[in-house]
């Protein structure tokens, strides 16, 4: 039995998975922008719901690919004389995997957890900058000390380690110089506010 069509389909599904990951990255950036512009209640909750939907799609896609791979592996191992009903076998394995789903699966999604961590850090950063919140001076000092010891060398734009970091004087964010300059240049060319 040749599985070249199945392999091609799996490759397409993996492309779909990369689109889901891209969507989750974009949703994370949108939520952080909303926090930065102080619109961070209902709008951010809405983006969080979108992130959970993406996590559900990612889980379903993973289960479907696993079901296909396990079915193909089983057929190759057993080498049946008659061609089995692939669709039925895949659906059976997929249903078994989906029956084990829970809400905690979605919240354990790596991109969703990253989203929640980034959101928490951004909110904390803006509370410190604006003086909002009822935190004592001692608590703020502790937060600053912890934050300073956990420096993040990953550029929020390129998602790569920064080689030449620069700090925004207005908001205090740090970016890779080339990446932020390209964004500024593009926004200026589009005659949009930078």
Query: Which among 163, 129, 160, 134 is positioned nearest to 147, based on CA atoms?
Result: 129
Of 3-7, 118-122, 129-133, 187-191, the range with the lowest mean pLDDT is 129-133
Q: By three-state DSSP, how is residue 175 classified?
A: strand
pLDDT tens for 39-88 read 567 888 889 999 999 999 999 999 999 999 999 888 888 888 887 888 89
Written as six digits, the tokens of 179 are 């990446």
d(CA 39, CA 48): 14
pLDDT tens for 137-180 read 445 445 444 444 445 578 888 888 888 888 887 777 888 889 88
Classify domain 151-193 at the CATH topology level.
Answer: Herpes Virus-1 (3.30.40)
- Position 145 scores a pLDDT of 46
> Which residue spans within the chain are E strands per DSSP?
165-167, 174-176
């Amino acid at each position: 039995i040749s599985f070249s069509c199945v392999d091609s389909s799996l490759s397409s599904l993996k492309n779909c998975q990369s689109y889901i990951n891209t969507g989750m990255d974009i949703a994370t950036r949108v939520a952080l922008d909303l926090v930065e512009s102080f619109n961070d209640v209902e709008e951010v909750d809405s983006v969080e719901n979108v992130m959970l939907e993406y996590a559900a799609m990612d889980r379903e896609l993973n289960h479907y690919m696993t079901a296909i791979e396990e079915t193909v592996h089983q057929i190759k191992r057993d080498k049946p004389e008659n061609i089995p009903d692939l669709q039925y076998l895949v659906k059976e394995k997929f249903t078994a995997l989906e029956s084990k789903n829970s809400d905690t699966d979605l919240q354990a999604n790596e991109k969703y957890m990253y989203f929640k961590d980034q959101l928490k850090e951004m909110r904390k950063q803006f509370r410190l900058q604006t003086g909002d919140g009822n935190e004592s001076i001692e608590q703020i000092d502790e937060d600053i000390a912890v934050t300073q010891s956990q420096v993040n060398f990953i550029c929020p734009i390129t998602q790569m380690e920064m080689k030449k970091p620069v700090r925004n004087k207005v908001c205090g964010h740090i970016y890779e110089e080339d990446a932020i300059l390209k964004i500024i240049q593009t926004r200026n060319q589009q005659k949009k506010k930078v």
